[in-house]
């Protein structure tokens, strides 16, 4: 077991090194320049007027290291002082978020890159914590070998590595899903008062990471009720006991949520909170819910939960509305049911995809062999026995089904990061099947030991299977390491690698505004004095690119000279901004005839046009 622990420590250490060194030259992406400044205002002003679309906990943690820096707060910022109005001159709330974020990071004399590096460290620690829990939980369930397989898949996942070094909520949400499930499982197995309180407190913290964790409420509630029903004696008693216990868990969890939100609205004027709520939810379908949420701002004991409800309704509103982006030759906000399955197939290493499908095949084969030999009438009893004997697997599968169901129905198709909470469960279940297959290579026991060759012959099938799995992992690790430090732009062999990923999807899958500093270094190294730029969000170019004339232009007309275009704009900008549009209706059709002289981090294409 010591070797298993040492290997786990090694995997996590490599994970930490890749994450820290890989993010060093990443500039703030679109979400980071909102989240980190918002978190800083929460801690210093106790006012949550900025970015209520996400719970505050992760932004708080990211901003904690900033309290040890000498930061100038732009109290006169338009983004901080502009009231949201419900009259005809509507100012979208995201504009004030962006304006304040830019003022704090770039226009107040602060060191933006240093702030971002400090702010990302707590997110990396959350990634390490999740890795630890994956190893711990899988080892408790299925042994050290399966735990190492699951941890290896996690530690070298380009999706995890890309997002664990960003001030966003995606890896934290994955940690919330998996860690809360860990304590949920322990409460199911031993429904003691202590386990109930621990689960309730952890669940409360989980709900504070991202609003998608709300999906755990129906998943956990249903699982707890079913677990009670599969007990051998007094089934309805245990079902009622677990259902009642889960209600107590929710009370504890939302007490935690309320306490944290109370701090964040302490200096937030109730009148402004109500006006902001009505403005932000101006297009929400239910007027009753909007009015209720706004009125809660004036009820002292309910103000905090009113702010929580605002964020939850914002997410529902945005998920239904979608987000305009490029996907497989079309620019649209409609979304597609194929989006997230395809993202998994092309954004995870192909070796992982093959392992997952192989694990599914093993599981179906095992189920088929068992069910085929049993009459249909026995299947109900088999299902009950299966749940009772394998509560962890059943619970993980339930969480995956619930999350994938809502993901497939969502119109918000802007990145593989939105299915990141499913990955730890996928890795754990895959590791379980892979290790079961490896161990299945031994079908005999040794009655009398006759030496090494007898032992080798007996274990030869297991050794071959283990060697095959190791080779598959080496393949995955090499493809991930070769793309370092550009994990965000990783695409596997199905998509043609990171060089061709932008032809499939863009946005936070490969171009989120993270490569401006690297572009600045390229411009300096090539002694470029004048350049035309068209890039997606992130940091203001002039903050990093000094002494160079940056020129705007009409993107629909052919240009000359140095030109830098990010892939999200290159693929997703329609002519005349007429959305939706097809590939042939893009603004940059004329640029398709040229090849870039450089690709900065696979996200910014640099051309020298004659």
Sheet arrangement for strand 530-534: 549-551, 530-534, 561-566, 604-609, 598-600
* pLDDT exceeds cutoff 60 at 447: no
Using CA atoms, how far apart are residues 327 and 510, in angstroms rounded to an integer?
Answer: 13
What is the model's pLDDT at position 455? 62
Q: How confident is the model at residue 419 (pLDDT cuts 50, 70, 90)?
A: very high
Q: Report residue 253 as tokens.
A: 């969890």
Higher-confidence position of 372 and 318: 318
What is the model's pLDDT at position 93? 66
Buried b (16+ CB within 10 A) or exposed e, 221-254: bebbebbbebbeeeeeebbeebeebbeebbebbb
Judge contact between 299 and 46, C-beta under 8 A.
Answer: no
Q: How confident is the model at residue 77 (pLDDT cuts 50, 70, 90)?
A: very high
Using CA atoms, how far apart are residues 162 and 31, in angstroms rounded to an integer?
Answer: 14
Of residues 585, 592, 506, the one with CA closest to residue 326: 506
* pLDDT exceeds cutoff 70 at 43: yes
- The beta-strand segments (E) located in 409-556 are 530-534, 549-551
- Average pLDDT for 403-432: 95
What is the model's pLDDT at position 443? 46
What is the model's pLDDT at position 168? 97
Instruction: For the chain, give the mean pLDDT.
Output: 92
Using CA atoms, how far apart are residues 366 and 360, in angstroms rounded to an integer?
Answer: 10
Using CA atoms, how far apart are residues 287 and 303, in angstroms rounded to an integer?
Answer: 19
Judge contact between 206 and 421, C-beta under 8 A.
Answer: no
Q: Report residue 320 as tokens.
A: 């239904």
- Pairing mode, strands 604-609 and 561-566: antiparallel
Judge contact between 594 and 608, C-beta under 8 A.
Answer: no
In Å, the largest CA–CA distance within the chain is 89
CA geometry: angle at 48 spanning 45 and 50, to 5°?
A: 105
Eight-class DSSP state of 573: P
- The beta-strand segments (E) located in 74-216 are none
Using CA atoms, how far apart are residues 169 and 205, in angstroms rounded to an integer?
Answer: 13
Using CA atoms, how far apart are residues 92 and 102, in angstroms rounded to an integer?
Answer: 16
* pLDDT exceeds cutoff 60 at 88: no
Give the number of other CB atoms < 10 A from CB of residue 482: 11
- Average pLDDT for 472-496: 96
Of residues 396, 586, 376, the one with CA closest to residue 502: 586
Q: Which of 67-76, 224-233, 249-258, 299-308 has the lowest mean pLDDT?
A: 224-233
Q: What is the pLDDT of residues 269-292, one digit of tens each?
A: 999 999 999 999 988 888 999 999
What is the model's pLDDT at position 317? 87
Give the number of other CB atoms < 10 A from CB of residue 64: 16
Judge contact between 331 and 72, C-beta under 8 A.
Answer: no
Q: What is the pLDDT of residues 1-33, one digit of tens each?
A: 689 999 999 999 999 999 999 999 999 999 999
What is the model's pLDDT at position 374? 65
Ramachandran quadrant class, 58 (left: phi over 0; alpha: psi -120 to 50; beta: rest)? alpha
Of residues 492, 563, 569, 564, the one with CA closest to residue 537: 569
Using CA atoms, how far apart are residues 151 and 178, in angstroms rounded to an integer?
Answer: 13
Q: What's the CA dihedral at 158, 162, 165, 166 to 10 degrees?
A: -160
* Residue with tokens 């320049």, as numbered in its chain: 33
* pLDDT exceeds cutoff 70 at 298: yes
* pLDDT exceeds cutoff 90 at 92: no
Give the number of other CB atoms < 10 A from CB of residue 450: 9
* pLDDT exceeds cutoff 80 at 371: no
**380, burial (CB in 10 Å: exposed 0-12, middle 13-18, buried 19+):** exposed
* pLDDT exceeds cutoff 80 at 126: yes
Q: How confident is the model at residue 550 (pLDDT cuts 50, 70, 90)?
A: very high
- Average pLDDT for 103-108: 97
pTM to 2 decimals?
Answer: 0.93
């Amino acid at each position: 077991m010591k070797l298993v622990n040492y290997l786990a420590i090694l995997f996590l250490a490599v994970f930490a090194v890749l994450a820290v060194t890989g993010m060093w030259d990443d500039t703030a992406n679109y979400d980071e320049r909102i989240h980190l400044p918002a978190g800083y205002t929460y801690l210093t002003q106790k006012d949550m007027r900025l970015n209520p679309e996400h719970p505050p906990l992760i932004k708080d943690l990211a901003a904690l290291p900033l309290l040890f820096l000498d930061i100038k707060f732009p109290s006169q910022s338009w983004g901080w002082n502009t009231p949201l109005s419900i009259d005809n001159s509507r100012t979208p709330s995201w504009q004030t978020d962006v304006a304040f974020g830019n003022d704090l990071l770039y226009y107040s004399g602060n060191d933006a890159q240093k702030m971002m590096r400090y702010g990302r460290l707590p997110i990396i620690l959350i990634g390490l914590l999740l890795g630890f829990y994956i190893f711990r939980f899988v080892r408790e369930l299925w042994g050290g070998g399966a735990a190492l397989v699951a941890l290896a898949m996690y530690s070298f996942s380009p999706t995890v590595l890309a997002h664990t070094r960003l001030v966003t909520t995606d890896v934290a949400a994955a940690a919330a899903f998996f860690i809360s499930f860990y304590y949920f499982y322990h409460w199911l197995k031993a429904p003691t008062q202590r386990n109930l309180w621990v689960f309730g407190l952890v669940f409360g913290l989980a709900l504070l990471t991202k609003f998608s964790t709300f999906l755990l409420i129906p998943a956990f509630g249903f699982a707890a009720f079913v677990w009670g029903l599969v007990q051998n004696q007094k089934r309805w008693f245990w079902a009622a006991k677990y259902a009642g216990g889960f209600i107590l868990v929710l009370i504890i969890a939302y007490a935690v949520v309320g306490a944290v939100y109370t701090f964040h609205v302490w200096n937030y004027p109730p009148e402004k909170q109500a006006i902001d709520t009505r403005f932000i939810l101006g297009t929400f379908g239910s007027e009753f819910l909007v009015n209720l949420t706004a009125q809660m701002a004036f009820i002292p004991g309910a103000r905090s939960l009113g702010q929580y409800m605002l964020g939850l309704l914002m997410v529902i509103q945005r998920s239904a509305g979608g987000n305009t982006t490029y996907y497989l030759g079309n620019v649209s906000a409609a979304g597609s049911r194929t989006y997230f399955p395809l993202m998994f197939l092309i954004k995870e290493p192909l070796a992982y995809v093959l392992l997952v499908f192989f694990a599914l095949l093993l599981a179906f084969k095992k189920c088929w062999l068992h069910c085929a030999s049993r009459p249909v009438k026995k299947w109900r009893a088999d299902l009950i026995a299966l749940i009772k004997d394998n509560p962890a697997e059943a619970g993980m599968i339930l969480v995956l089904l619930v999350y994938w169901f809502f993901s497939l129905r969502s119109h918000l198709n802007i990145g593989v990061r939105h299915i990141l909470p499913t990955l730890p469960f996928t890795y754990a279940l895959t590791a379980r099947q892979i290790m079961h297959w490896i161990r299945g290579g031994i079908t005999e026991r040794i009655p009398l030991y006759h030496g090494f060759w007898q032992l080798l012959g007996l274990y030869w099938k297991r050794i071959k299977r283990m060697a095959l799995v190791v080779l598959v992992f080496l393949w995955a690790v090499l493809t991930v390491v070769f793309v370092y430090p550009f994990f965000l732009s990783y695409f596997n062999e199905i998509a043609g690698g990171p060089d061709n990923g932008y032809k499939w999807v863009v946005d936070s899958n490969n171009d989120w505004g993270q490569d401006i500093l690297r572009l600045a270094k390229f411009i300096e190294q090539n002694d470029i004095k004048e350049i035309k730029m068209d890039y997606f969000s992130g940091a203001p170019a002039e903050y990093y690119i000094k002494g160079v004339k940056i020129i705007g232009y009409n993107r629909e007309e052919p240009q000359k000279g140095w030109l830098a275009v990010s892939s999200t704009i290159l693929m997703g900008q329609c002519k005349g901004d007429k959305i939706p549009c097809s590939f042939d209706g893009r603004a940059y059709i004329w640029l398709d005839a040229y090849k870039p002289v450089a690709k900065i981090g696979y996200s910014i294409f640099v051309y020298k046009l004659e």
